[in-house]
Amino acid sequence: MTIKEKYQKSVIPKLQEKFGYRNILQVPRVTKIVLNVGISSDSKDPKFLESVKETLRTISGQHPVPRGAKQSISNFKTRKGQIVGLTVTLRGSRMYHFLEKLIHLALPRVRDFRGLDAHTIDKSGNMTIGLRESIAFPEVKVGELDRQHGLEITIVNNAKTKEQGKELLALMGLPFKESRK
């Protein structure tokens, strides 16, 4: 069963029961996933930028969009317009495919992984996951990368509260740590 089928067949009824939604359209859903890689300003190596682009393209299946600095900051050695990051926004079937790959393949491959921290969910129910290495994804080969880089994954949903967002993500299959009380 794909993650989209799981959402439609089991997650929607459970959320309706728990939060008392009368209409299926009231039930929160994942709307997009944003992948982001920040590039340090001291890395002026064009080969590294191309390597990061290729890694993001391989992981997501989409061409990454370069993000420029909005202003010049001398302490960070950045100039206005200088590329400081790459971003990919996934929606629809690519989003569900990536979410499935993240849950079933990438997170179990992360070294010393003990679950996601629920504190990374904001007040709207959106969650940001930071990975120190992009080699957790099976498409990325360790020998092909000249330098390691991190990856930030933001799962955006239309939940109204943090509790609804956490419940949605937990039912979708994201592994959370046991909370200590």
pLDDT confidence bin for 91, thresholds 50/70/90: very high
3-state secondary structure of 41: coil
Per cent of the chain over pLDDT 70 is 91
* Closest CA relative to residue 171, chosen from 19, 2, 1, 12: 12
Q: What is the pLDDT of residues 102-113, one digit of tens each?
A: 999 888 888 888
Question: Helix crossing, 162-172 with 12-19: angle to 10°?
Answer: 150
What is the pLDDT at residue 79? Answer: 75
Residues 6+ apart with CB under 8 A from 99: 3, 30, 33, 155, 172
H/E stretch holding 50 reads helix 46-60
pLDDT confidence bin for 181, thresholds 50/70/90: low
pLDDT confidence bin for 150, thresholds 50/70/90: confident
Average pLDDT over residues 123-144: 84
Q: What is the pLDDT of residues 28-67, one digit of tens each?
A: 999 999 999 888 755 667 777 788 888 899 899 999 998 8
Delineate the domains of the chain, giving CATH numbers in brackets: 3-172 (3.30.1440.10)
Please tell me which residue, 47 or 156, carries the higher pLDDT value.
156
What is the pLDDT at residue 155? Answer: 96
What is the pLDDT at residue 146? Answer: 67
Among 5-14, 94-103, 128-137, 164-173, the range scoring the smallest mean pLDDT is 128-137
Average pLDDT over residues 135-156: 81
pLDDT confidence bin for 145, thresholds 50/70/90: low
What is the C-alpha end-to-end distance of the chain, expressed in Å? 35
3-state secondary structure of 36: strand
CB neighbour class for 155 (10 Å; exposed up to 12, middle 13-18, buried from 19): buried
